Structure 1
Amino acid sequence: MLGSAVQNIIALTDSVFLFHYNDIDFRAIGLVSVFYLIISAIGYGFSRGGQIIIARRFGEGDNRNLVRSFYALLYFELALAFIIFIAIQFGGAWFFKQIVSDLETFDRCVKYLLPRSYGIFFSYLGVIIVALYTGIGKTRFIVVDVAILAIVNMILNYAFIFGKWGFAEMGIAGAGWASSIAEFIAFVVFLIYMIFEKNKLVRGLFFFPKLNFKLVLQVFNVSIPIVIQAIIGLGSWFVFFSLIENMGGKELEISNLVRIVYLILSIPTWGFSSGINTLASNLRGSGNEGDVIPVIWKTVYINLLITVIISIPIIFFPETMLYPLFGREDMTIIYASQPLLYVLGLILLLFAVGAILFNGILGIGATKLGLWIQGSLTIFYTAYVFIFVKYFQSDLTVAWFSEVFYWFLTLVISAWFLYKYNWEKIKI
């Protein structure tokens, strides 16, 4: 769960500290962090494709090609990180100028994005390592490393945003630097752990084979549908927040608060989604295809139970549960978010089931079908948002209901595929 939620944790930490810094920076982080999640999701999507291949080779006992696939993923992601970094450095400000109406919000978005872009390299390297360890079922140290990243990020956020311990007060720019440095430190810690790892498979990684374009192409072909899914999925969410920004500053603040709660409560689902990628792929690789659907449903039940347990207190008692993070004399924003939190509760129930079923489809290798499903539903989602938010100028509750319809349809279509489609013929 934690390995899949690294960017969620960073976004949460940055948002909480900026909430206590000033309202303008808090509004801006709500928009720019969604954009950065798209950037992170590109690298994460390719790592998920690599993870599926690694899990399949591990299930087959083919360690030689497992290692070669790992390095194909590594070379590809490093090249991708460099391209995206250059694009952000030279085109990030221009892009935000086209979509942000408020000049102060635009200024804050750019101040965060430029230093944050340096973390792309270590973010992408980090998800590659997570893909390896998740693919071979050795996830224990991921917990330790994510904890280190979170702690370092919190400490640096406090120092850089507010100007503590001799550092200059940087506001939202400080949050960008804090997150990038935290990702660098977390990567170094994991690399040291790998060097002293006793696992023979991991210790056998420390050589650099020649670039194998065939394996790179294999990783690309499996991963690209997942990446496009992430781009269009989070891209539609970015469009959503861009339209909310045009509704006004207060609406953006409220939606940002709900988004943060969404990120917190969705951590189990993202984790179990990554886990079912590995389990489904591993079971197919070892020839146990009859166990795939039962394992998917067991994962659904566990995830749904955990999601309900952690969601009920926050959804129904936000003034108490959110006070440690967002408490101050003026509690207006928490009270104003209450109607949206009820909608969020429904979203989370559908998300907890639909996301697991959908990622089960990806795990068995049907990534192109997954792209078709998400692409079609994103068109519906985006059309809904434009119609009700931009033209009918509906309130936030109606706008957020787009997520309800999206995950309900995802759930229904994914369940139909698992039971009605002959997916056993899909090969990787």
Structure 2
Amino acid sequence: MNRLGNCEIFRVAGPILLSLLFQQMIGLTDTAFLGRVGEVELGAAALGSVWFLAVYMLGFGFSVGVQILIARCNGEGHHSEIGRIFYSGIAFQLLLACIVFALSRLLSPLLLPRMIRSPEVCAATASYLEYRSYGFFFVYLAVMFRAFYVGITRTHILTFNSVVMVLANAVLNYALIFGKFGFPAMGIAGAAIASSAAELFSVLFYCIYTRCRVDLHKYRLEKIFTFDFAVLRRVLNLSVWTMLQSFVSVSVWFFFFIAVEHLGERPLAVINLVRNVSALVFIFTNAFATAASSLVSNLIGADRTDEVMELGRRIAVLALVIVSPFLLFVALFPQTVLGVFTGNAELIAAAAGTLIVMAAIQPLQIVAGIWFNVVSGTGSTRTALFIEVGTLLVYLVSVWYIVLFRRLGTGWCWSTEFYYSFVMLAASLWYLKKARWQGRRI
């Protein structure tokens, strides 16, 4: 196996990037449509989306452990073990989806009124989550297919799958939010139904593609629902840490949005607009970070740990080179960018300064996210959790001081991302340079 070059990095990261770009278009479509409905709906969609994302991250965190194991087996050439890992993960995800669906339907009506000050925003958020919670079943299965294809480095399928999701979501959003094609106008509830239905189409596409285009015998996928408790224990040994890390991370971000909501409906709408623009940059970070995790795990499986640090540096540089022009455009023309999401001139003017702050912080976030995923790719998922928890403690303190105690403007509120990223980058680099992770077995 030759040294991994930039072409190999792009071969893995490119399709992931395109798939994430298309997936993000689902959120952007929701925002673009709801931005024409009202500020209450725009803010409620932000809170509902982050709530859903926090619970979704439990399943995603589990899939990260599955992905690491599949990538390690793929690097070692043990392809026949991949099917047992995949199907054991599927069974666990279905059970987890049932649990979180029930808890979400039970707890949302109890918790939301205690956390959200505005009755209008609270009611709209509850309406969104009533229908969005059905998406847990579909999205938990979808991330398992994603873990499989990323683990075996056949990431091109992610792009095609995301196209299916975006097309389904765009058509259903238009129909259900505004009442077109004979459907009733459901507003924010229509956006939730459209997103969940798009995820159902995603799972169906994955199933059909896998059945028709994958060598089922090679990966032992021909025996559906082959379950192995020993394999599940092995997966959970990795995944329990990534599950906790992912859930805690987004849960704290939900706290950030709740804190901003206490500043008023306008600041919440501003932060949601900036969040959607930052998510465009985040997809680049996520794509290269996911590629880093998979390639690092494959390198270690092939007994090439000496190349890990160099690979991390190259991926970080490539990501910065690609994203910097977009960030420069955002910083120079913030009102033009915001105009894509809303026609409200006052809201655009209020959000422009915060958008510039976001653009200035993003390079640090990109580098931090990539090196953090290098740590996860080594199999040190418990260490990754400790890094995340320590980082989030710093983040919580900064949110409390800047947003709740000082009640500063939205630009200062977004500056809390700087402290989060700086601590994460420093801790990740310290671990990779000082700890003994090279011979770690999973």
TM-score, structure 2 normalization? 0.93
Match of 1:359 in 2: 373
The Cα shift of 1:104 comes to: 0.9
SS of corresponding position for 1:72 = helix
Task: Give the gaps of 5 or more residues in structure 2.
Answer: 1-16
Q: Distance in 1 between matches of 2:280 and 2:415?
A: 19
| Percent of residue pairs bearing the same amino acid type | 33
The Cα shift of 1:363 comes to: 0.1
* Residue 415 of structure 2 corresponds to residue 401 of structure 1: yes
Note if contact 2:20-2:162 (Cα within 8 Å) is conserved in structure 1: no
Note if contact 2:270-2:350 (Cα within 8 Å) is conserved in structure 1: yes
Aligned with 2:163 (options 143, 147, 152): 147
Q: Over residues 303-338 of structure 1, what are the superposed CA-to-partner deviations in whole Å (9 max), with x where a residue is unaligned?
A: 111121222212321222333x2242x322222212
Match of 1:31 in 2: 47
Match of 2:91 in 1: 75
Give 4+ residue runs of structure 1 displaced > 6 Å after superposition.
none
Aligned with 1:137 (options 134, 142, 153): 153
Opposite residue 262 of structure 1, the aligned amino acid is S
Opposite residue 341 of structure 2, the aligned amino acid is F
Aligned with 1:50 (options 52, 66, 82): 66
Match of 1:161 in 2: 177
Opposite residue 272 of structure 2, the aligned amino acid is N
The Cα shift of 1:185 comes to: 1.1
Q: Distance in 2 between matches of 1:264 and 1:380?
A: 25
Opposite residue 394 of structure 2, the aligned amino acid is F
Match of 1:411 in 2: 425
* Residue 246 of structure 2 corresponds to residue 230 of structure 1: yes
Match of 2:439 in 1: 425
Aligned with 1:294 (options 301, 306, 310): 310
The Cα shift of 1:394 comes to: 1.9
Q: Distance in 2 between matches of 1:286 and 1:258?
A: 42
Q: CA RMSD in A?
A: 1.6
Opposite residue 376 of structure 1, the aligned amino acid is G
Match of 1:326 in 2: 341
The Cα shift of 1:199 comes to: 3.3
* Residue 257 of structure 2 corresponds to residue 248 of structure 1: no
Note if contact 2:31-2:341 (Cα within 8 Å) is conserved in structure 1: no
Aligned residues: 426
Q: Distance in 1 between matches of 2:311 and 2:327?
A: 24
Match of 1:14 in 2: 30
Q: Distance in 2 between matches of 1:84 and 1:104?
A: 26
The Cα shift of 1:249 comes to: 0.7
Task: Give the gaps of 5 or more residues in structure 1.
Answer: none
User: CA 1:205–1:6 in structure 2 vs 1: closer, same or farther (change >3 Å)?
Assistant: farther
Note if contact 1:7-1:37 (Cα within 8 Å) is conserved in structure 2: no
User: CA 1:85–1:134 in structure 2 vs 1: closer, same or farther (change >3 Å)?
Assistant: same
Q: Distance in 2 between matches of 1:202 and 1:30?
A: 43
Q: Distance in 2 between matches of 1:6 and 1:32?
A: 20
Note if contact 2:23-2:162 (Cα within 8 Å) is conserved in structure 1: no
Q: Distance in 1 between matches of 2:25 and 2:331?
A: 19
Q: Over residues 339-371 of structure 1, what are the superposed CA-to-partner deviations in whole Å (9 max), with x where a residue is unaligned?
A: 212211122100110110010000001111111
Q: Over residues 56-98 of structure 1, what are the superposed CA-to-partner deviations in whole Å (9 max), with x where a residue is unaligned?
A: 0111111222211111111111110111111112222212122
